């Protein structure tokens, strides 16, 4: 099987420098040694050489660069592994899932908590697990391998900055658990798909986290000038400080003037139900959009994806409720 590995940066390939960890290890040479003598010894390798980044520096342009590299190689490989930093990996895996619904080969993202040269590093385990998933014939679409689990790419979220089980998928079961043999769960939901998507472009999306006592004037300041869309991370099932003076008016005015407002939850595991409590009723009636059970990463990447497709207002709102790539459960 022909496998292509795309390396974009992250702790996996970092070395200690004068200002902390930064990319610098010979990842290609390390992979060569790791895979020597195996059936994957002939893997091809691409490194974003002059742009290896800590994934906290990633932008939608970086998501698109991975999409472009995968398309450039689609004829020449049967499976793909993307190596990137863990910090924003779930944003990338969500973004890839929307852009690659028609892509013919599996794509598995992975990274590491420790650099490859460190004793006790999880780099080799994760890369080998990702390769095993990608070549299994059982993991179509975009997924994320980490520690001992294969997760749906657009259901995964980073839950630990140190655990070798750094990711979870709170709304759905893992796709597979490693072992001898691997234990496979139900196949992922595929969604309605998105043929021929336009490329990701930078978008002016504001993500606001509510906290008790953050005043309306402060929120209003963050929303001037009006962004292309807002993701409002609320409490529980999408509850909002509706009794806070000016709060409901602030967001109602924004929605009325055409800015989509998506209500997500701060809970790791949540299903947003606008109007279930009186506290979210006014914004529900004003046309706020529910994030359902999508992860924070899947919501943000989806808003950027839809804006990049040229959608806004009611069209964008309608598509947020559509399961494009398995990121959202029905109801």
| Options 13, 46, 55, 248; binder of ligand ASN; rule CB under 6 A | 55
The angle, 0 to 180 degrees and rounded to 10, between the axes of the packed helices 89-99 and 296-308 is 40
- The smaller minimum CB distance to ligand ASN, of residues 76 and 162, is found at 162
- The smaller minimum CB distance to ligand ASN, of residues 146 and 200, is found at 146
Q: Which residues of 291-319 are buried (b: 16+ CB within 10 A; e: fewer)?
A: bbbbbbbbbbbbbbbbbbbebeeeebbeb
Per CB under 6 A, 115 contacts ligand ASN? no
105, 44 contact by CB (below 8 A): no
- The smaller minimum CB distance to ligand ASN, of residues 23 and 326, is found at 23
111, 5 contact by CB (below 8 A): no
What is the rounded distance in angstroms from the CA atom of residue 114 to the CA atom of residue 11?
6
Per CB under 6 A, contacts with ligand ASN among 179-238 are: none
- The smaller minimum CB distance to ligand ASN, of residues 90 and 316, is found at 90
Torsion of CA 304, 308, 313, 317, to 10 degrees: -50
Shortest distance (Å) from residue 116 CB to ligand ASN: 11
Shortest distance (Å) from residue 9 CB to ligand ASN: 6
The number of residues making up the chain comes to 331
With CB under 6 A as the rule, give the number of residues binding ligand ASN. 11
Interface map 125-164 toward ligand ASN (x if CB under 6 A): ----------------------------------------
| Options 7, 11, 106, 147; binder of ligand ASN; rule CB under 6 A | 11
Q: Which residues are annotated as a binding site for substrate?
A: 55, 86-87
148, 165 contact by CB (below 8 A): yes
244's tokens? 């806070």
What is the rounded distance in angstroms from the CA atom of residue 175 to the CA atom of residue 149?
7
Per CB under 6 A, 85 contacts ligand ASN? yes
| Options 86, 94, 169, 259; binder of ligand ASN; rule CB under 6 A | 86
Q: Which one of 81-89, 141-149, 198-206, 226-234 is the stretch in contact with ligand ASN (CB under 6 A)?
A: 81-89
Looking only at the bridges linking them, the beta strands covering 142-146 and 20-23 are: unpaired
- The smaller minimum CB distance to ligand ASN, of residues 87 and 293, is found at 87
Block residue for tokens 């939850």: 265
Q: Catalytic annotation on 11?
A: yes
111, 86 contact by CB (below 8 A): yes
- Cα distances (angstroms) measured from residue 62 to each of 58, 67, 101, 223: 6, 9, 18, 26
Q: Which residue is nearest to ligand ASN (CB)?
A: 85
Q: What pairs with residue 45 in β-bridges?
A: 5
| Options 92, 94, 97, 113; binder of ligand ASN; rule CB under 6 A | 113
Give the N- to C-terminal CA distance of the chain in Å, as an integer: 39
Q: What is the DSSP letter of 42?
A: T
Interface map 25-54 toward ligand ASN (x if CB under 6 A): -----------------------------x
| Options 3, 6, 10, 237; binder of ligand ASN; rule CB under 6 A | 10
Interface positions with ligand ASN (CB under 6 A): 9-11, 54-56, 85-87, 111, 113
Catalytic residues: 11
């Amino acid at each position: 099987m022909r496998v292509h590995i795309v390396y974009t940066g992250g702790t996996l390939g970092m070395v200690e420098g004068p200002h902390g960890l930064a990319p610098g290890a010979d990842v290609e040479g390390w992979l060569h040694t790791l895979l020597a003598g195996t059936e994957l010894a002939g893997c091809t390798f691409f490194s974003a050489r002059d742009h290896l980044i800590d994934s906290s520096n990633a932008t939608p342009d970086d998501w698109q660069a991975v999409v472009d590299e995968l398309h450039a190689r689609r004829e020449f490989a049967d499976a793909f592994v993307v190596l990137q930093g863990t910090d924003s990996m779930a944003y990338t895996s969500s973004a890839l899932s929307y852009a690659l619904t028609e892509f013919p080969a599996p794509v598995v993202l992975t990274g590491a908590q420790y650099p490859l040269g460190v004793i006790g590093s999880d780099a080799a385990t994760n890369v080998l697990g990702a390769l095993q998933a990608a070549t299994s014939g059982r993991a179509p679409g975009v997924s994320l391998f980490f520690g001992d689990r294969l997760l749906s790419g657009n259901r995964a979220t980073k839950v630990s900055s140190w655990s070798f089980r750094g990711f979870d998928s709170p709304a759905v079961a893992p796709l597979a658990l490693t072992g001898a043999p691997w234990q496979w769960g139900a196949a992922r939901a595929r969604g309605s798909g998105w043929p021929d998507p336009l490329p990701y472009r930078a978008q002016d999306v504001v993500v606001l986290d509510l906290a008790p006592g953050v005043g309306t004037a402060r929120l209003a300041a963050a929303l001037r000038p009006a962004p292309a869309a807002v993701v409002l991370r609320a409490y529980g099932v999408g509850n909002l400080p509706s009794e806070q003076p000016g709060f409901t008016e602030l967001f109602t005015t924004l929605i009325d003037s055409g800015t989509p407002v998506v209500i997500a939850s701060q809970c790791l595991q949540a299903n947003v139900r606008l109007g279930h409590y009186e506290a979210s009723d006014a914004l529900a009636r004003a046309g706020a959009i529910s994030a359902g059970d999508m992860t924070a990463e899947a919501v943000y990447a989806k808003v950027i994806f839809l804006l990049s497709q040229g959608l806004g207002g009611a069209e964008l709102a309608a598509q947020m409720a559509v399961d494009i790539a398995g990121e959202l459960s029905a109801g």
